[in-house]
Amino acid sequence: MKETTKEQRTRARMMPGAITLSGFLGKDKRTLNAIISADEQELEKLGKTAEELADRMFYFTDASFSTYDGTITVDEYYIVETEVTRGKLPCPYAHGGIFRKAITKLTNTKNNTSVTWSFLNIHLIKDHHFFEGKGSTFRLEPAKLVETLY
């Protein structure tokens, strides 16, 4: 299916250098709708929704956001660290969302898996069901995200 003009503009904002140095698509040549559809199908197999994952990600980020010692243990099995830097990033979907630059790293000590995300990732997953393109610096694979978050 051919991309609409709006989707083409969004894709242009996702290219390297437009909003972030490395962009949001990696080496993925699929349309945004194809990327999102494939991830939604995977989520369905995993029995989770994008909203559930984003809410859980926010739960961990929020719990660790104001710690002064760097890391915090949450719910006994999760080691969480959020590093805040100066600046904000706009959503590439151009609806006015601006998100603080902060990177959260979560380690699940039950299965020894880790994932890293930003505030913008949480928004992109919750509101747009977009986990980024294959090969992107901040691509979050739905299966690994579920494995680590639960």
**Banded pLDDT at 96 (limits 50, 70, 90):** confident
- Is 109 a residue whose pLDDT tops 70? yes
Q: 98-108 and 113-118 as β-strands: parallel, antiparallel, unpaired? A: antiparallel
What is the model's pTM? 0.93
- Domain span at residue 73 reads 5-149
Which has more pLDDT, 1 or 95? 95
Up-side HSE of residue 129: CA atoms within 13 Å toward CB? 16
**Banded pLDDT at 1 (limits 50, 70, 90):** low
- Structural domains counted in the chain: 1
Which amino acid is located at 1 in the chain? Answer: M
pLDDT, residue 17, reads: 93
For the chain, the average pLDDT equals 94
Please say whether the beta carbons of 31 and 8 come within 8 A: no
Percent of the chain residues past pLDDT 90, beyond the cut: 85
Closest CA to 82 of 102, 98, 101: 102
Query: Which residue shows structure tokens 């994008």?
Result: 50
Identify the sign of the CA torsion 64, 82, 106, 58: positive
Give the tens place of pLDDT for each residue, 70-84.
899 999 999 999 998
Give the tens place of pLDDT for each residue, 4-21.
898 899 999 999 999 999
Percent of the chain residues past pLDDT 70, beyond the cut: 98
pLDDT, residue 67, reads: 78
Own/partner contacts of 112-120, CB < 8 Å, gap of 24 or more, are: 113/144, 113/147, 113/148, 114/148, 115/140, 115/144, 115/145, 115/148, 115/149, 117/57, 117/61, 118/89, 119/61, 120/89, 120/91
In three-state secondary structure terms, 137 is: coil
